């Protein structure tokens, strides 16, 4: 017998999980970075009504960090892409999305008095020292979340010792998280998407 939801009958054993680079609140995409056609769209409702399958739509970084949910302690992830950086965190064992789904949108923060991190990215990171760029991002996470472990998906190869030394100019050694460089964003993201889908199915069994 098929399960039912507020939208009607669900198709058993099927799910759809979408990660959107942007912020989402109450199912509505407030801003989809690089996908302007999705702005203002309730993608979860539209997909469910059209295909009749269990659906979840969430921020891509919020999905990514959920793949680390089995770890103990507070952790953070930072991904630096061509369109700018995004971050996510797990606090007290759960991914944090914020009151309006805007948590982790660090690209909107100012890099200096003239430009945001996102604006610098959209300019192609011209004449930017990536150690300083990345270090300033990390310092924001360290001072606000203070995770014990920080997973970093950099845009290019980066020297982790130089990065740590940059951060230590501004925060004490005791506050520094373990920084782990990752080059497997696509693999980790796909794993997290699958995990979220399985969680969806388990919730209706």
- Tens-binned pLDDT, residue by residue, of the chain (205 aa): 334 443 344 445 577 888 888 888 877 888 887 788 888 888 888 888 888 888 888 888 988 998 888 887 899 999 999 889 999 999 988 888 888 888 889 999 999 999 999 999 999 999 999 999 999 999 999 999 999 999 999 999 999 999 999 999 999 999 999 999 999 999 999 998 888 777 766 665 5
Are 142 and 153 spatial neighbours (Cβ–Cβ below 8 Å)? no
78 strand-pairing partners: 87, 152
pLDDT at 54: 80
pLDDT at 203: 62
Q: How far apart are CA 169 and CA 69, in angstroms?
A: 31
pLDDT at 205: 57
* DSSP SS3 for 32: strand
85 strand-pairing partners: 80
CB neighbour burial string for 16-45, b if at least 16 within 10 angstroms, e if fewer: bbbbbbbbbeebbbbbbbeeeebeebebbe
Are 67 and 188 spatial neighbours (Cβ–Cβ below 8 Å)? yes
Token representation of residue 24: 């989402």
Instruction: Give the Cβ contact number of residue 145 at 10 Å.
Output: 19
């Amino acid at each position: 017998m098929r399960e039912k939801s507020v939208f009607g009958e669900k198709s058993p054993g099927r799910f759809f999980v979408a990660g959107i680079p942007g912020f989402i609140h109450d199912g509505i995409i407030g801003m989809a970075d690089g996908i302007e056609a999705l702005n203002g769209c309730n993608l979860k409702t539209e997909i469910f009504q059209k295909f009749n399958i269990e659906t979840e739509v969430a921020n891509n970084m919020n999905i990514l960090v959920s793949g680390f949910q089995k770890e103990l302690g507070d952790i953070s992830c930072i991904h630096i892409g061509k369109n700018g950086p995004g971050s996510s965190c797990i606090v007290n064992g759960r991914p944090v999305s914020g009151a309006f789904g805007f948590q982790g949108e660090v690209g909107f923060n100012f890099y200096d008095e003239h430009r945001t991190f996102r604006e610098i990215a959209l300019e192609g990171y011209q004449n930017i020292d990536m150690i300083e760029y990345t270090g300033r991002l990390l310092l924001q996470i360290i001072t606000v979340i203070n995770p014990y472990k920080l997973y970093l998906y950099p845009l290019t190869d980066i020297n982790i010792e130089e990065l740590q030394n940059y951060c230590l100019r501004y925060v004490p050694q005791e506050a520094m998280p373990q920084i782990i460089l990752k080059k497997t964003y696509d693999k980790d993201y796909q794993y997290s998407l699958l995990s979220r889908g399985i969680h969806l199915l388990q919730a209706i069994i």
